[in-house]
């Protein structure tokens, strides 16, 4: 007979998140614990075989490294993560203080919020959803997830989609480069086939050009006083480097001009803008001046068909959009909270599934053993007798299994469920290997899905 589980050990496991992010640690700490693609599968394999951990997903981005676990014992699982970080990343006691640990409902809400970009440095940014999806896919590929984390991540991505579709959280630009793209769209409608000239090779210019290319721009030229720097940025962008003194012949061709040179005087004045406008035969041109001091004379705004936004203009757009996004974030947070509340009972009910699978197997063993004993004592039986006794015994055990399953799934997460699950395991001598049982259930589900195609 199996001993009762020790106090504090979950019969079905708990969702646990252990990690650090831009909210808990500075970049010099975060970068030490980032896990790149080349080391990811080894890390997943190492943690999946560690005490207390049944399933694991690792989410590693520039702003966070998180270990999302289904743990048979949260405290033991946390120690396993700590030992892994000590061994692989030279974790110190002071480092560990930057890590947070969330369990059960708090962990579910955190995963949902991360996937919905509510925990991002820039709330509403779209990249995190893809990163969450990729992290889950990598863990599935490594074979270290099962029914529990699969359910959590499937729901998290569903919630993220609802947040995108039902709120305006991602509708407005909240960075200067994004704002530049948004304004360019307002001027040109579509950015497809537009040409971009970058004056200066700074980081903000690079980001702005990247967003423009991502949104349809087809060509980019880069001019810089140091030609080698122009060449490096052009190579990154897949564009063409030009000499700074040759910029004038390209200004008339460019639909969008991004300027950030650090030059102490104005580079483009009103007369320059008028000449460019004539050469473009009335086609509009959009100047993005993100230089301080400014590269472009504000008077160019007076030229018809010439649009100019400087860094202050762009930051005002960002500020307005941030206010809009904050309101959307509050709406999204309420949606996430409701989704967590509706999902938790389902997740808690799932915790008893490994016990139910093991119970069904045990009852089948009892069923077969008793049939064999009956045949040995009263056989041989004719075909009708075999069918009758098989049907009767199967129905009897089915009723018992159904009744027990109904009781175990009632009051999910309550102490009574834990006590009853422990009692069933003890009474029937069940040894539950959660990962094995999860694989069995997953195989059954896959087979059912395949049969429905």
Last residue of a domain, one of 130, 148, 166: 166
Nearest alpha-carbon partner for 209 in 260, 145, 248:
260
Catalytic residue (choose from 2, 62, 171, 299): 62
The Cα-based distances of 29 to 63, 94, 96, 116 in angstroms read 11, 10, 10, 25
Beta bridge partners of 60: 65
DSSP one-letter code for 240: E
**Could you give the number of structural domains in the chain?**
3
Does some domain include residue 344? no
Q: Are 162 and 181 in a shared domain?
A: no
Does some domain include residue 171? no
Last residue of a domain, one of 143, 166, 189: 166
**Catalytic-residue membership of 62:** yes
Q: Are 212 and 276 in a shared domain?
A: yes
Q: Are 156 and 196 in a shared domain?
A: no
Q: Are 203 and 280 in a shared domain?
A: yes
Which residues span the domain enclosing 259? 176-313
Q: Are 157 and 202 in a shared domain?
A: no
Does some domain include residue 431? yes
Q: Are 196 and 283 in a shared domain?
A: yes
Q: Are 162 and 238 in a shared domain?
A: no
Q: Are 113 and 151 in a shared domain?
A: yes
Last residue of a domain, one of 166, 199, 234: 166
Does some domain include residue 398? yes
Does some domain include residue 343? no
Residue/partner pairs of 415-420 with CB below 8 Å, 24 or more apart: 417/348, 417/352, 418/10, 418/11
The Cα-based distances of 249 to 154, 223, 276, 288, 324 in angstroms read 53, 12, 10, 18, 41
Instruction: Quote the tokens at residue 166.
Output: 């039902």
Does some domain include residue 75? yes
Is residue 329 within 8 Å of 123, Cβ to Cβ? Answer: yes
Q: Are 146 and 204 in a shared domain?
A: no
**CA-to-CA distance for 415 and 422, rounded, in angstroms?**
11
User: What is the pLDDT, as a whole number, of residue 156?
Assistant: 97
Q: Are 150 and 230 in a shared domain?
A: no
Does some domain include residue 338? no
Q: Are 49 and 109 in a shared domain?
A: yes
Is residue 286 within 8 Å of 226, Cβ to Cβ? Answer: no
Residue pLDDT tens, the chain, 453 long: 223 333 333 445 789 999 999 999 998 899 999 998 899 999 999 999 899 999 999 999 888 999 999 998 999 999 999 999 999 999 999 999 999 999 999 999 999 999 999 998 778 878 899 999 999 999 999 999 998 899 999 999 999 999 999 998 877 667 777 788 888 888 888 888 899 999 998 887 888 898 899 888 988 999 999 999 999 999 999 999 999 999 998 999 999 999 988 888 899 999 999 999 999 998 999 999 988 788 999 999 999 999 999 888 888 887 777 788 888 899 999 999 999 999 987 787 666 667 777 778 888 888 888 888 888 887 777 888 888 888 888 888 888 878 777 776 665 555 666 677 777 777 777 776 555 444 444 443 433 333 333
User: How many residues are there in the chain?
Assistant: 453
**CA-to-CA distance for 175 and 322, rounded, in angstroms?**
9
The Cα-based distances of 152 to 136, 237, 384 in angstroms read 10, 38, 48
Q: Sort strands 256-259 and 240-243 into parallel, antiparallel or unpaired.
A: unpaired
Report the predicted TM-score, pTM, of the whole model to 2 decimal places. 0.62
CATH number at residue 228: 3.40.50.720
Quickly list DSSP for 92-146.
Answer: -HHHHTT-EEEEHHHHHHHHHHHHTTSSSSSTT-SHHHHHHHHHHHHHHHHT---
Does some domain include residue 7? no
Q: Are 360 and 275 in a shared domain?
A: no
DSSP one-letter code for 57: E
Cis before 293 (ω within 30): yes
**CA-to-CA distance for 102 and 19, rounded, in angstroms?**
9
């Amino acid at each position: 007979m199996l001993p009762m589980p020790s106090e504090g050990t979950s019969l079905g496991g708990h969702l646990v998140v252990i990690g650090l992010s831009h909210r808990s640690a500075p970049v010099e700490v975060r970068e030490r614990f980032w896990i790149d693609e080349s080391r990811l599968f080894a890390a997943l394999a190492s943690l999946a075989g560690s005490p207390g951990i049944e399933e694991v997903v690792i989410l590693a981005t520039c702003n966070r490294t998180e270990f999302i676990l289904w743990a048979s014992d949260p405290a033991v699982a946390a120690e396993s993560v700590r030992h892994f970080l000590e061994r692989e990343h030279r974790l110190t006691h002071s480092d560990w203080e930057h890590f947070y640990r969330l369990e059960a409902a708090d962990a579910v809400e955190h995963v949902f919020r991360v996937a919905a970009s509510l925990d991002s440095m820039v709330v509403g940014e779209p990249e995190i959803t893809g990163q969450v999806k990729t992290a889950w896919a990598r863990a599935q590929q490594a074979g270290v997830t099962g029914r529990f984390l699969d359910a959590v991540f499937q729901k998290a991505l569903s919630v993220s989609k609802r947040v995108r579709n039902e709120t305006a959280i991602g509708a407005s630009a909240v960075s200067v480069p994004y704002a530049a793209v948004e304004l360019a769209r307002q001027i040109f409608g579509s950015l497809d086939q537009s040409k971009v000239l970058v004056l200066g090779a700074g980081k903000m210019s690079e980001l702005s050009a990247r967003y423009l290319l991502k949104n349809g721009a087809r060509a980019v030229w880069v001019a810089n006083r140091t030609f080698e720097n122009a060449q490096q940025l052009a190579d990154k962008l897949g564009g063409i480097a030009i000499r700074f003194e040759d910029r004038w012949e390209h200004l008339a061709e460019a639909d969008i001009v991004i300027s950030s040179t650090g030059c102490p005087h104005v580079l483009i004045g009103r007369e320059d803008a008028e000449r460019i406008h004539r050469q473009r035969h009335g086609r509009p041109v959009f100047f993005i001046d993100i230089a301080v001091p400014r590269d472009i004379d504000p008077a160019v705004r007076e030229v018809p068909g010439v649009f100019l936004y400087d860094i202050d203009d762009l930051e005002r757009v960002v500020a307005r959009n941030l206010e809009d996004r904050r309101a959307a974030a509050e709406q999204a947070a309420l949606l996430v909270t409701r989704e967590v509340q509706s999902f938790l009972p389902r997740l808690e009910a799932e915790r008893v599934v490994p016990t139910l699978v093991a119970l069904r197997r045990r009852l089948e063993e009892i069923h077969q053993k008793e049939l064999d004993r009956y045949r040995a004592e009263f056989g041989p039986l004719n075909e009708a007798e075999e069918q009758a006794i098989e049907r009767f015994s199967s129905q009897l055990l089915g009723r018992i299994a159904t009744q027990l399953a109904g009781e175990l799934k009632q009051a999910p997460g309550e102490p009574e469920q834990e006590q009853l699950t422990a009692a069933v395991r003890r009474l029937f001598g069940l040894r539950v290997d959660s990962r094995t049982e999860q694989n069995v259930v997953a195989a059954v589900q896959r087979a059912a899905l395949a049969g429905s195609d």
